[in-house]
Chain A
């Protein structure tokens, strides 16, 4: 049973009044995966995670964690959970807070104290451990909460929007820890709507929109299945010369155009070579021309756009 998924969700549905936040969602997270739960705001990511955590109970369907259906709370010692809404006891000392939260998960006091000290030192918060939480900056508080999430060395980390509200330096610090934990064998599920981050960290993804699954699977497989021919182009100037070509539906089916940079899905039967030729002839000052896999952002836009969500900024609907 080594290959049994660490999380197995079948047909879960949660309604709030008449509104179905999640409908019939099924997903399966392999052990050791870095699993991205992706979707636009209001897609049902947080509701799904709360059902995994046993915080709210699905109206229908089952959640199995570690191969049984006892629920997240029974496995709390093996799960680290970072909720979307962050918060700590404001008046409590940093070290005491970490020790208490670890104890609530069943870690002994001494072990919790030692590990909290180690983690605080590692994330450069060592000198703050006797300070009250409210004396810390917001970024520091987020790091403290992140430490609380993984202090008890869980086999499964569930992070709801872990990068939201972090500055680039702290984002980097947290990302490094996630990668390191993943290498050490921790399964990580995280939700985000930042596709670029997800693309770089995840090996599995599940895209949901309006409470329903749009697609899921290994990232490589998702990209392969998505198909089409994709090209990334960058221009030295604003790419004005290329505009008519990118706008030509016989050449380009879809474009994610940022001005100086664009990702293009070519029309059926069009070879990248043909596009390059036309761009050069039109006098476009190319800096980059690359045959690429479809980006997760592209896939997300295609799939979620098709599922009826609003197009995101930068999206230009074509042909």
Chain B
């Protein structure tokens, strides 16, 4: 046991000392702050109101309504240019020049036919801005609709009333009742959890592979296996590297919790306006979810690190490892491909089935648990299948590893691997 402990410590200390660990551990929280604060900062400093022209070629009162619509909300500042139908071309020329001179961002053209056809034209340098265009469209639609209703004799009061803002607020319901969390926050949380699970399982398992291969390449493996059993070595390696993973996730977890808790301080530090800060939704993380995420990380990491250890043991060079790891990587990929589908319908049958397959459940189940209430029976079933698979895979992997680490030269085929696994 002391020997295993020595291996664990070596794997752990050497990794924690590395620059790679330091950088990625620090970058995690930095990334979290950036994704939370950046949208708010950007929204706050988005250049203020757009300055646009409105070319009114005989549209009548529609232009009045448009100006009113555009200027409510302070998103646009409008210069109105009124011209006759015949002078439209010259006015457009003049406005285009103003756009080119960056005096205005663009201009909207309305004519007498607009009300009938419902067609407006916008020309500007900001046409690729999704936000600007969405606002323009909404304002135009609103203005045209109100003008049409008014002209058909609808009571102006009713028209006014219909203008009141309509919004659908989404609130997530769990067994404990409404959480106060919005759909967007839930989606964001589930997405991040799924992504982190995938990255963590993949990166740390690959680390185990590299570690196995390094001992083979430097030939130090021969000294090691004359000192301890291959299984002790593999065990120490997997636990040591996994420990690094847990520490790193722990740091990230604490950083995330601190960010959620002290977001006011963080936003103030970045000078995010109060109303912007209030609009940013940060998810609440239940402790049950934390436990589940940890359990699936550990089991998923065990499963994949055992398989990647086999890859490291059966190859002799880095480039061979690149090739030989493909089957294992392909096994992990479906878990990523169904990511959007699971997020869309975390309680659906696809999600349920994928959540039971041990090669994908470590990614799928935490997503589902973050986005919905997964029945306890399903979680238990999924975990049980995963545990059984881990035991079986580790057993086979350890046997192949034991033979592979001392073999150099030609990479073994499947038949050879089966023979190694069966050898006593």
Chain B's nearest CB lies how many Å from the CB of A133? 9
Q: What is the CA–CA distance of A79 and B13 in the complex, to the nearest angstrom?
A: 27
- 0/1 interface trace, chain A 60-104, chain B, CB 8 Å (1 if under): 000000000000110010010101011111111000100011011
Which B residues from 350 to 364 make CB contacts under 8 A with A? none
Contacts of B18 in A (CB 8 A): 91
Q: What is the CA–CA distance of A204 and B218 in the complex, to the nearest angstrom?
A: 32
Q: Choose one: A53, A76, A88, A106; the contact of B2 (CB below 8 Å).
A: A106
Count residues of A near B (Cβ-Cβ below 8 Å).
Answer: 27
Q: What is the CA–CA distance of A104 and B225 in the complex, to the nearest angstrom?
A: 10
Contacts of A55 in B (CB 8 A): 222, 225-226, 406
**A55-B406, A56-B406 as given contacts; A104 in contact with B219, CB under 8 Å:** no
- 0/1 interface trace, chain B 190-218, chain A, CB 8 Å (1 if under): 00000000000000000000000011011
**B10 on interface, CB distance cutoff 8 Å:** yes
Chain A's nearest CB lies how many Å from the CB of B15? 10
**B3 on interface, CB distance cutoff 8 Å:** yes
Q: What is the CA–CA distance of A81 and B7 in the complex, to the nearest angstrom?
A: 19
CB pair A81 B3 closer than 8 Å = no
**A55-B406, A89-B214, A103-B6 as given contacts; A73 in contact with B220, CB under 8 Å:** no
CB pair B226 A81 closer than 8 Å = yes
- 0/1 interface trace, chain B 404-422, chain A, CB 8 Å (1 if under): 0010000000000000000
CB pair B226 A73 closer than 8 Å = yes
Contacts of A72 in B (CB 8 A): 226
Contacts of B214 in A (CB 8 A): 89-90
Q: Choose one: B13, B222, B228; the contact of A104 (CB below 8 Å).
A: B228
**A76-B226, A105-B227 as given contacts; A83 in contact with B219, CB under 8 Å:** yes
CB pair A87 B229 closer than 8 Å = no
Contacts of B329 in A (CB 8 A): none
Q: What is the CA–CA distance of A136 and B217 in the complex, to the nearest angstrom?
A: 18
- 0/1 interface trace, chain B 225-237, chain A, CB 8 Å (1 if under): 1111100000000
Contacts of A86 in B (CB 8 A): 219
Chain A's nearest CB lies how many Å from the CB of B233? 9
Contacts of A73 in B (CB 8 A): 225-229
**A189 on interface, CB distance cutoff 8 Å:** no
Interface of B: prevailing SS: helix
Contacts of B14 in A (CB 8 A): 89, 91-92, 96
CB pair A101 B225 closer than 8 Å = no
**A81-B223, A87-B218, A148-B223 as given contacts; A106 in contact with B10, CB under 8 Å:** no
**B133 on interface, CB distance cutoff 8 Å:** no
Q: Choose one: A90, A101, A103; the contact of B223 (CB below 8 Å).
A: A101
**A153 on interface, CB distance cutoff 8 Å:** no
CB pair A103 B218 closer than 8 Å = no
Q: What is the CA–CA distance of A83 and B10 in the complex, to the nearest angstrom?
A: 22
**B295 on interface, CB distance cutoff 8 Å:** no
Contacts of B7 in A (CB 8 A): 104
- 0/1 interface trace, chain A 141-152, chain B, CB 8 Å (1 if under): 000000010000
B216 nearest CB neighbor, chain A only: A87
**B224 on interface, CB distance cutoff 8 Å:** yes
Q: What is the CA–CA distance of A87 and B13 in the complex, to the nearest angstrom?
A: 20
Chain A's nearest CB lies how many Å from the CB of B232? 9
**A293 on interface, CB distance cutoff 8 Å:** no
**A88-B218, A90-B218, A91-B14 as given contacts; A54 in contact with B3, CB under 8 Å:** no
Chain A's nearest CB lies how many Å from the CB of B123? 60
Contacts of B222 in A (CB 8 A): 50, 55, 81, 83, 85
Chain A's nearest CB lies how many Å from the CB of B403? 10
Which B residues from 380 to 424 make CB contacts under 8 A with A? 406
Q: Choose one: A54, A89, A103; the contact of B226 (CB below 8 Å).
A: A54
Which B residues from 1 to 58 make CB contacts under 8 A with A? 2-3, 6-7, 10, 13-14, 18
Contacts of A56 in B (CB 8 A): 406
B10 nearest CB neighbor, chain A only: A100
B424 nearest CB neighbor, chain A only: A57
CB pair A104 B218 closer than 8 Å = no
Q: What is the CA–CA distance of A56 and B224 in the complex, to the nearest angstrom?
A: 13
Contacts of A81 in B (CB 8 A): 222-223, 226
Q: Choose one: B3, B218, B220, B226; the contact of A53 (CB below 8 Å).
A: B226
Interface residues of A (CB under 8 A from B): 50, 53-56, 72-73, 76, 79, 81, 83, 85-92, 96, 100-101, 103-106, 148
4 smallest CB-CB distances across A and B, nearest first, come from A87-B218, A103-B6, A87-B219, A85-B219
Other A-B contacts than A79-B226, A88-B218, 13 sampled, CB-CB below 8 A, are A50-B222, A73-B227, A83-B222, A85-B222, A86-B219, A87-B217, A87-B218, A92-B10, A100-B6, A100-B10, A101-B227, A103-B2, A148-B223
Please list 27 pairs of residues, one from A and one from B, whose beta carbons are closer than 8 Å in the complex, sorted by A's number.
A53-B226, A55-B406, A56-B406, A73-B225, A73-B228, A73-B229, A76-B227, A76-B228, A79-B226, A81-B223, A83-B219, A83-B226, A87-B219, A87-B220, A88-B220, A89-B218, A89-B220, A92-B10, A92-B14, A96-B13, A100-B6, A101-B223, A103-B3, A103-B6, A104-B6, A104-B227, A104-B228
Interface residues of B (CB under 8 A from A): 2-3, 6-7, 10, 13-14, 18, 214-215, 217-220, 222-229, 406
